[in-house]
Structure 1
Amino acid sequence: MNLTHWPPGIPRHLELPDTSLCYNLEVSARRYPERAATLYYGGVLDYAELKRQVDALAGYLQQVCDVRRGDRVALFMQNSPQFIIALHAILRADAMVVPINTMNRQQEVAHIVRDSGSRVAIFGQELAEHIAPLLGTDLAHGIVATYSDYIDAQTDLPLPDIVCAAAIAVDGAVAWGAALEHNCEPAPPLAGPDDLAVMPYTSGTTGAPKGCMHTHRSVMHTTIGGPEWCYVPKDCRVLAALPMFHVTGLQNGVMSPIYGGVSIAIMTRWDKRCAAMLIERFGVTTWTAIPTMLFDFLNQPDLDQRDLSSLYCLTGGGAAMPKAVAERIHALWGIHYIEGYGLSETMAPTHLNPTHRPKAQCLGLPIFDVHALVVDIETLKPLEVGEVGEILVDGPQVFRGYFGDAERTAAAFVEIDGRRYFRTGDLGYVDDEGYFFMVDRLKRMINASGYKVWPAEVESYLYAHPAVLEACVIACRDAHRGESVKALVVRRPGQAVDAEALIAWAREQMAAYKVPHAVEFVDSLPKNAAGKMQWRMLQEREMAKGTTC
């Protein structure tokens, strides 16, 4: 491993505390009880009150919902103080958090609830239609949150509709405030660093979303490692704009800030004007943003009139940052956009660019205690500098495996020279200075503005439409999102449907980022001798066009 450009003054080994994640909040609440923990559209929650509410909700989960050590609890909620409270309450109850993508629809939510075995769910009221049907059947208990409970109604910050909405009763669920009013005292914590803590769901090439089992220790590694790598002090202020259900938003917008006892300015919905106001008003110092978010942010006519000089740490990933945009960021703020690389299976980063010497459109260096290789995709033989192969990683943040799926877990790992590596499915290379670059994906995945879309999953939904005989989903070029979803469809004989109608139908079936952006009707789809769809041929043909969809 080439360590020539390792960040100056940063240790190469990260010694992790032998404690659970919920202990991080206890420490911060003791150190900084009156410091603002959350800044939410004018509403402020200090660390002492945050911990009090976490304990009350944890006690409710244990005493009323019968949550026990190791149980799974679904968390289906937008960015909000309630998300942070619920997350830590589940951990304080010695249970495992199952964060659910808020773009998911009922069928997708039902799969995750059933697959994880969650019997309790905490959710935002605007998402009730997608989870309430499970109450009384799959779910024994539900707690519903109203975001407006935590805002200042007189704020001048632009309020999303779902944030200023009044409380809505949901049959079969108890209101958030009512749950807290029980003032239940949680039992002494039992979970340790090797207990399961968080299980984000990711989709595989077969299309079925699967749970990535993370322990308190694996989550702790990137919780501490990210700020350490980027020299982030404990008196910083964080802008949490990325979705907290996603590992990048979770670690950078919740876990790391709580560990450091810093203030978190929370955005429930992305709004470039609101983001600029928050940075200026609260002196935000640290922000993790994907490139498409920054494209939009920089496209503000009055941006140069705002004082954004407090911002000194800007990180992100999900897609390569165009050189011209990175140069504009540096010209505006005098800082570099620090790109990184990670997956749900690694609880965010395994690689980060060093802040003193980043490279553009680069994954970065393997961070603390991470071993990374590039290997031949057939022989798994380690490759030389500059040779393209599959990226393998091993480190403390790598997950335990896929929940309830020993076969997929076994297939996801390989042992090389006595070390067990996770197969990322990403193709890349390492240069002569030890920096990793990604060039393609071995797995069949579409990257739409940083969201991973698995074609087989989208195809499975399309096949439910009565007019669809066959479907093959591929990526198409998109000037804004990088890639978008395109469906090649063979109509069922005697059935009529046009592209607009099929796309409208798809919006009702799946998360918005999975919905085909374009539909092309064809007479047939190519298959090999074994009858398997030759999607790669179709993908290459689409990309060879050089046009956007």
Structure 2
Amino acid sequence: MSRPLAAVGTSDPSAVLRALEAALAGGPALLPVAEDAPALPEPAPADVPQRVALVVETSGSTGTGKRVALSSEALLAGAAAADTALGGPGGWVLALPTHYIAGLNVLTRSIAAGTTPVAVAPGHFEAAAFADAADRLETGPAAPRRYTSLVPVQLARVLDDERAVRALAGFDAVLVGGQATPAPLRERASAAGVRIVTTYGASETSGGCVYDGVPFGTVRTEVVDGELQLSGPMLAEGYLGDAERTAAAFVERDGRRWYRTGDAAAVTDGVVRVLGRLDDVVISGGEKVPLGLVERLVRELPGQDAAVVTRRASAEWGEVPVVVTAHPVELDVVRAHVGAALGRAARPHAVVVVDRVPMLASGKPDRRAVRALADPTA
């Protein structure tokens, strides 16, 4: 059994909302497509298996493109568990692109709650536009709570605007994900009376399924050989048209199906701490240096909330960490802070100051572009 796959442009969030609602009800499966996004090498199929309701195309900040196939059951299970974790259904302000799973999550949770999301004006994210959207958000007796989902750079912009901060403080929860949220940014939000919930997840898990380090609902986590693996009803069917990649990422163990995240993590007393990508490690002078941990430490420094740590080839050391930032910072300060926590090999060898750190439409750093800035010979 199969059903048609309908591509819908994402410039009109209301059109995506209608198409997703139809897909969840058994109509054509939805493929949200950003008009300015590069097409994947292989065209999307005309039909998909009957269980597939949503296909999310993603190339990520590194790696090759893929199409993640999600069922209605997975999407709605994730939405229901998230509502329970947050305290109940509510109305949403949509501030994220709807060809990414985080934006699609806002639509799914609105559909499940019977509410109409209010979209921030399209284009470059502005705090004033967010405040305008928040003013238009209506809730009702069945879903009285107010929610939104942001990436860290959006949160930082909102916190710089007094009117937007007042609006954000009126939300019952502000989900922040897509990348690690720097501690100073979380502290700024808390001081402003904003309830931040940090999220972790992926397209393969129907979006965020770990809130503030704790898996919600029936989601289970395990660390196997240093890699975080997730299990639960929100898992994707796999990768459309790619059985080999599906078999590598989704594995059976102990009678359960698990998604291999590719992230290094530690779990202490049930709380997950993600340490970075397993493959995002440089060997510097014979020592392994996890760039994700270096980046977290750099982002603890004043003004470095959006700094990115990447790699550069070195004739002496093999590879070395390099900081790319839009805000100048003394290299000695960075080296001392990182070195005190991770040792000599982890100390960045340079700070590259740019007008603006390259970003993807999702709000995540464009790590391939960042790498080119740090190491033009790569």
TM-score over 0.5 (shorter chain): yes
Q: Which one of the candidate residues 153, 171, 186 is aligned to 1:311?
A: 171
Query: Which is greater in Rg?
Result: 1
The aligned residue for residue 349 of structure 2 is none
Residue 80 (1) aligns with residue 13 (2): yes
Instruction: Check whether the contact 1:230–1:313 (CA below 8 A) recurs between aligned residues.
Output: yes
Q: Which one of the candidate residues 473, 483, 502 is aligned to 2:308?
A: 483
The Cα shift of 1:414 comes to 3.1
SS state at 1:437 partner: strand
The 3 A distance-change label for structure 1 pair 111 and 430 is same
The aligned residue for residue 45 of structure 2 is 117
The aligned residue for residue 419 of structure 1 is 256
Instruction: Check whether the contact 2:20–2:108 (CA below 8 A) recurs between aligned residues.
Output: no
**How far, CA to CA, are the matches of 2:81 and 2:12 in structure 1?**
23
**Could you tell me which amino acid in structure 2 is paired with residue 350 of structure 1?**
C
In the TM superposition, 1:317-466 aligns within 5 A as 317-333=177-193, 335-353=194-212, 364-376=213-225, 389-431=226-268, 433-443=269-279
SS state at 2:248 partner: helix
> C-alpha offsets along residues 397-448 of structure 1, whole Å, 9 cap, x if unaligned?
11111111111111113333343321110000001x2100001201459xxx
**Could you tell me which amino acid in structure 1 is paired with residue 87 of structure 2?**
Y
TM-align CA RMSD: 3.6
Off by >6 Å, runs of 4+ in structure 1: 484-488
The Cα shift of 1:219 comes to 1.2
**How far, CA to CA, are the matches of 2:257 and 2:168 in structure 1?**
44
**How far, CA to CA, are the matches of 1:521 and 1:343 in structure 2?**
30
**Could you tell me which amino acid in structure 2 is paired with residue 221 of structure 1?**
A
Instruction: Check whether the contact 1:69–1:95 (CA below 8 A) recurs between aligned residues.
Output: no
The Cα shift of 1:217 comes to 0.8
The Cα shift of 1:88 comes to 3.0
The aligned residue for residue 104 of structure 1 is 37
Instruction: Check whether the contact 1:205–1:443 (CA below 8 A) recurs between aligned residues.
Output: no
The 3 A distance-change label for structure 1 pair 287 and 69 is same
Q: Which one of the candidate residues 300, 320, 334 is aligned to 2:161?
A: 300
The Cα shift of 1:346 comes to 0.9
The 3 A distance-change label for structure 1 pair 72 and 485 is farther
Instruction: Check whether the contact 2:76–2:112 (CA below 8 A) recurs between aligned residues.
Output: no
The Cα shift of 1:368 comes to 1.4
Instruction: Check whether the contact 1:204–1:210 (CA below 8 A) recurs between aligned residues.
Output: no
**How far, CA to CA, are the matches of 1:216 and 1:519 in structure 2?**
42
**Could you tell me which amino acid in structure 2 is paired with residue 374 of structure 1?**
V
> C-alpha offsets along residues 265-290 of structure 1, whole Å, 9 cap, x if unaligned?
11223221011233245468211111
The Cα shift of 1:204 comes to 7.8
The aligned residue for residue 128 of structure 2 is 273
The Cα shift of 1:196 comes to 1.0
Instruction: Tell me the TM-score normalized by structure 1.
Output: 0.49
The 3 A distance-change label for structure 1 pair 205 and 239 is closer
The aligned residue for residue 320 of structure 2 is none
The structure with the greater share of residues assigned to strand is: 2
The aligned residue for residue 237 of structure 1 is 91
Q: Which one of the candidate residues 108, 115, 130 is aligned to 1:262?
A: 115
SS state at 1:70 partner: strand
**How far, CA to CA, are the matches of 1:346 and 1:245 in structure 2?**
15
**How far, CA to CA, are the matches of 2:376 and 2:164 in structure 1?**
44
The 3 A distance-change label for structure 1 pair 102 and 313 is farther
Residue 208 (1) aligns with residue 138 (2): no
**How far, CA to CA, are the matches of 2:115 and 2:235 in structure 1?**
26
**Could you tell me which amino acid in structure 2 is paired with residue 257 of structure 1?**
S
Percent identity between the aligned chains?
A: 25
The 3 A distance-change label for structure 1 pair 443 and 205 is farther
The aligned residue for residue 528 of structure 1 is none
Instruction: Check whether the contact 2:223–2:266 (CA below 8 A) recurs between aligned residues.
Output: yes
The 3 A distance-change label for structure 1 pair 75 and 484 is farther
Instruction: Check whether the contact 1:73–1:90 (CA below 8 A) recurs between aligned residues.
Output: no
**How far, CA to CA, are the matches of 1:93 and 1:420 in structure 2?**
24
> C-alpha offsets along residues 66-93 of structure 1, whole Å, 9 cap, x if unaligned?
xx95222222313521221233345557
Instruction: Check whether the contact 2:218–2:233 (CA below 8 A) recurs between aligned residues.
Output: yes
**How far, CA to CA, are the matches of 1:398 and 1:90 in structure 2?**
17
**How far, CA to CA, are the matches of 1:76 and 1:400 in structure 2?**
23
**How far, CA to CA, are the matches of 1:247 and 1:482 in structure 2?**
24
SS state at 2:117 partner: strand
In structure 1, runs of 5+ residues without a counterpart are 1-67, 120-190, 354-363, 377-388, 446-474, 489-506, 526-549
The 3 A distance-change label for structure 1 pair 274 and 439 is same
Instruction: Tell me the TM-score normalized by structure 2.
Output: 0.69
The Cα shift of 1:231 comes to 0.7
**Could you tell me which amino acid in structure 1 is paired with residue 184 of structure 2?**
A
The Cα shift of 1:222 comes to 1.1
The Cα shift of 1:390 comes to 0.4
Instruction: Check whether the contact 1:415–1:421 (CA below 8 A) recurs between aligned residues.
Output: yes
Instruction: Check whether the contact 1:412–1:422 (CA below 8 A) recurs between aligned residues.
Output: yes
Residue 286 (1) aligns with residue 147 (2): yes
> How many corresponding residue pairs?
304
